[in-house]
Amino acid sequence: MMTTEAFQFRRATESDLDRISEIHLVAFPDARTEPERRRNFTASRFGNLEDLVLIERRGEILGHAFLFALEAWFGGRGVAMGGVASVAVAPEARGQGVATALLDHVHAASDARGDALTMLYAFRQRFYARFGYGTTSSRKRFTLDPRSIPSAWIALANARVRRARGTDRQAVAAAYVRSASKASGWFTRQEKTWDRKWSRERPQVLVAELSAREGETELAGYIVFDVAQGEEHAATLLRVEEIVANDDVSRRALLGALARLRDQVFAIELEVDSEDVLEQALVDSDGRSFGTKGVEHTLGVIVGGPMVRIQNVPRAFEARGYAAAGAFNVVIDEPHGEGLDSPASFALSVRIEGGRATVSESRDLPCVMRTTRAALGSLLYGGLRLADAVRLGLVEADVDVVAHVGPLLATAPLAPVDPF
């Protein structure tokens, strides 16, 4: 295996696009055309070509990876994070330590600029677990019959939901920020993200209004969706790209608006977080589809989330927000060989006051809870509950510790609306 000293790293330029596209095609052999692949690197919503890291040996490009500079909401605070994407290695260079060296470089760069975590969508979770990545909340993707949505929700839609207008852009963005601040993993969106959403032709945008004062209304949510058909006269599928609602009434109204398309749409595909109980309000959500002897009614599928990784543990604690106050000690165990600049085991004392955490070194203190860096990342940024982590053997803590620390660390399930 080659050592990291054998490689060089630099930012990509326009002159590298032919080689980058060549490597990308082999690593991601999907139906995207050459121009589409180039746009993946030059016109991303999350950054630009300068965010693409190239790894070389003797002047030859062997692989690439994006390191986007992002901000996402956790515990009511915007947290600086690195978005890792499009990790690819040339076929002739695989098995030579290229991916390891590339990821080590990306992680070090993210840490150097002060990110609290990195996040990625893994092609294989086992591969990235070697680098200290932990899993995050799953999501539920429903494929539901529009006739299963309660009629009362349709009445709400008739009273509150209308087509979005160009003048709604700022109000839509404000509604997004209000919901993002209460969620986990929703990104702070740049203007170019809204530019792209507002300029696309196919997706439809509906908005929900609430009466604020007599004669005035307030935009309290919106839904973006697309209607697609494989061929003429085939079943029509409505795919929800994102639904943002600042209150439950607006959410019901927006879903009710989709039910108004029941004579045109065969099914609605909608993704919600792991704790959402939407299915309990639906009647015959699988419509007239047939089941099996083992499962009569299939409502959808469980979708795996991204993975998260923390490098600097104190920074990871201190970056996010907290809803409760308290203090505890934690011991982090790490196997040797993970490439992390820290001892195999270390202890920290964490104090949370006013929604912020402060961390100090802890010596000769009783171990309140014990875990690994990867599992800690899942607890702090992946939506994993402490009680569940103990149940899964990812954390050692007694019942009293779970009762005290669990509410301190709890966040909403991780459910990003902007995959990268």
Q: What is the pLDDT of residue 5?
A: 57
Q: Is 177 found in the same domain as 83?
A: no
CATH code for the domain of 348: 3.30.1050.10
Q: Yes or no: say if 73 and 79 are a contact pair by the CB < 8 Å rule.
A: yes
Q: Is 86 found in the same domain as 201?
A: no
Q: Yes or no: say if 328 and 408 are a contact pair by the CB < 8 Å rule.
A: yes
Q: Is 82 found in the same domain as 19?
A: yes
The residue out of 303, 335, 370 marking a domain boundary is: 303
Q: What is the pLDDT of residue 212?
A: 61
Q: Is 264 found in the same domain as 375?
A: no
pLDDT tens-digit readout, 367-385: 789 999 999 999 999 999 9
The residue out of 115, 149, 165 marking a domain boundary is: 115
Q: What is the pLDDT of residue 364?
A: 66
- Four-point Cα dihedral 374, 375, 376, 377, nearest 10: 60
pLDDT tens-digit readout, 316-364: 999 999 999 999 999 999 864 444 455 578 999 999 999 999 999 876 6
Q: Is 99 found in the same domain as 56?
A: yes
Q: Is 401 found in the same domain as 253?
A: no
Return the closest-CA partner of residue 142 out of 294, 262, 305, 284: 284
Helix (H) or strand (E) holding 242: strand 236-245
Q: Is 322 found in the same domain as 295?
A: no
The alpha helices in 67-144, defined as continuous H runs, are 98-112, 125-129
Q: Is 298 found in the same domain as 317?
A: no
Helix (H) or strand (E) holding 42: helix 34-42
Q: Is 107 found in the same domain as 56?
A: yes
The residue out of 303, 335, 359 marking a domain boundary is: 303
Q: Across-strand partners of 268?
A: 144, 238
Number of domains present in the structure of the chain: 3
Q: Across-strand partners of 369?
A: 330
Q: Is 158 found in the same domain as 47?
A: no
Q: Does 365 reside within a domain?
A: yes
Q: Is 282 found in the same domain as 149?
A: yes
CATH code for the domain of 239: 3.40.630.30
- DSSP class per residue in 373-411: HHHHHHHHHS---HHHHHHTTSEE--HHHHHHHHHHH--
Cβ-based neighbours of 114, under 8 Å, separated by 6 or more = 80, 315
pLDDT tens-digit readout, 150-181: 999 999 999 999 999 999 999 999 999 999 99
Q: Does 121 reside within a domain?
A: no
Q: Does 127 reside within a domain?
A: no
Q: Yes or no: say if 305 and 137 are a contact pair by the CB < 8 Å rule.
A: yes
Strand, helix or coil for residue 246? coil
Cβ-based neighbours of 59, under 8 Å, separated by 6 or more = none
pLDDT < 70 regions, the chain:
1-5, 201, 211-216, 335-343, 363-364
Segments forming the whole domain that contains residue 338 = 311-409
Strand, helix or coil for residue 183? coil
Q: Does 414 reside within a domain?
A: no
Q: What is the pLDDT of residue 24?
A: 96
Q: Does 55 reside within a domain?
A: yes
Q: What is the pLDDT of residue 210?
A: 81
Q: Is 373 found in the same domain as 260?
A: no
Q: What is the pLDDT of residue 2?
A: 43
